[in-house]
Amino acid sequence: MAKTLGMKIRDLRIKKGYTQTDLAEGLVTPSMISQIEADKANPSYKLLEALAKRLEVSIDYFLNDIQEKLELDSRYKLARAMMQSQDYEKAIEILKELLNSPGMQSFEVKFDLAEAYLKNEDYEQAVEQLETLYREVSLDKDRRLVVQVLDQLAYCKIQRNDYILARHFLLQALRETRRLDEADRALKGKVLRKLADATAYLGPYEDAIEYYEDALTALQGTTELFEIGKAYEGLGDMFGKLEDFRKASDYTRSAITMYKSDHRVTNVGECKTKLGIYLSRLGDYEEAKRVYQEVLEDYQEQENDEQMGYVYVRMGELYSFMGDYEQAMEYCQRGLAMIPEQSSLKAVSLEIFGRVAWEMKSAELAVASLSQAAARFEKENLYSELIHVHTRLSHIYQSQGDLAAANTAMLQATRAMEESLKMKGLYL
């Protein structure tokens, strides 16, 4: 393999019997020499000239390497630009070429390749790249690198619905953060927040709440407003699951404040919708209606029909709580018409519409809507939601005297429960 500039300087230094301190004396710090030899820093022309003189070689011996390094750095910048513009396939192509070049075997290039695979949803290649990286950095003094790799491995597993392994990697990452300086509190906070997210899926909710609270403690005093917002939002979600809607609404308001400060328009809208849901469950109907109207105006300004449709469906749910079923049906139908078929919001919207239809004693419409919701939940591996839908269908069939259909629906609910437990590692 051809030698890089750093390799040449290192070999000549050793040949001369110099230490890094000897070579650096009067020129730069020994740390800078170490970085140059590792090809992590490029020396200036003036420094290179001084090093050549001290090592008793012509500067021409190094210049070709400098030009080649500049060209490779330019290619690396292009790959990063491709990632910024979401052209991940082109970025992958360039990064793979760079990894075949001497001097470009750095952690950053390898990590960027793994990230490009992730963004391109090529999770198998991403995991392979990250596992290789983990073996390389596991003994590295810089434990931040280990945390970064474990964090991305966890993300890969979450994308493949393997929350058990995701939590395993995040727990490892959390242990590593305890070996970092106090200055790395933000990194620890991010890991805790993601660990809370994984635990929120696997349960119990009380453990997830504890991790979210620990994340907020770690993030206190940092500038990570988005992460703080995510932790508050997670706490709102958990208390919503536990049906403590007062705490859920309070934490969600805090999340909105953080997201607004960080100019996260999408997150603000989603949390306002959640706030409307919690307020409606508290029976604070007028305030819920005000919040929904506010977020509808925001989405109208953004021309976001999908989210507007979802808010309309939630307003339909609100009117059903108020006993105004005519308005409820009107809002639900209006919202469903605005939500695209491929949207992840379609299933939950159909489930709400099914509930409203059943409250209006329209069994046929309720069954049709809930059955569509069930098919979508199953496709998306949302087993908790699937259990509730099949259970509701069973009750509807039973009330209509169709005991065979009721039994079938209950069996489907049981199967969904088994799948949910398998995913959580609680069923063999």
Kindly report which listed range (6-10, 247-251, 321-325) carries the lowest average pLDDT score: 6-10
Residue 2: the pLDDT is: 60
The predicted model scores a pTM of 0.79
Which of 68, 94, 97 shows the shortest CA–CA distance to 81? Answer: 94
* Residue whose pair of structure tokens reads 């070999």 in the numeric block: 11
Residue spans of the domains in the chain: they are 1-85
Q: Find out whether 350 and 376 touch, Cβ atoms under 8 Å.
A: yes
**What would the pLDDT profile of 44-103 be if each residue is shown by its tens digit?**
888 888 998 999 888 877 776 666 777 777 888 898 999 988 999 999 999 998 887 766
**What would the pLDDT profile of 21-32 be if each residue is shown by its tens digit?**
999 999 999 989
Residue 378: the pLDDT is: 93
**What would the pLDDT profile of 110-134 be if each residue is shown by its tens digit?**
889 999 999 999 999 999 999 988 8
Q: Find out whether 157 and 180 touch, Cβ atoms under 8 Å.
A: no
Q: Find out whether 4 and 39 touch, Cβ atoms under 8 Å.
A: yes
Tell me the mean pLDDT in the region 192-217.
95
Per-residue confidence band for 332, with pLDDT thresholds at 50, 70 and 90? very high
Distances (CA, A) of 284 to 71, 261, 273: 63, 27, 14
Whether 189 has a pLDDT exceeding 60, the answer reads yes
Whether 322 has a pLDDT exceeding 90, the answer reads yes
Whether 428 has a pLDDT exceeding 60, the answer reads no
What architecture does CATH give domain 1-85?
A: Orthogonal Bundle (1.10)
264: number of CA atoms within 13 Å, CB side?
A: 19
CA separation for the pair 276, 286 (Å, rounded): 10
Give Cα 93 to chain centroid, integer Å.
24
Whether 1 has a pLDDT exceeding 60, the answer reads no
User: Two tokens at 94?
Assistant: 């360039």
Mean pLDDT, the chain, integer: 91
Bond from prior residue into 204 cis (ω within 30 degrees of 0): yes
**What would the pLDDT profile of 385-413 be if each residue is shown by its tens digit?**
999 999 999 999 999 999 999 999 999 99
Give Cα 358 to chain centroid, integer Å.
36
Kindly report which listed range (29-38, 194-203, 270-279, 344-353) carries the lowest average pLDDT score: 29-38
Q: Kindly state the percentage of the chain with pLDDT values over 70.
A: 96
Per-residue confidence band for 170, with pLDDT thresholds at 50, 70 and 90? very high
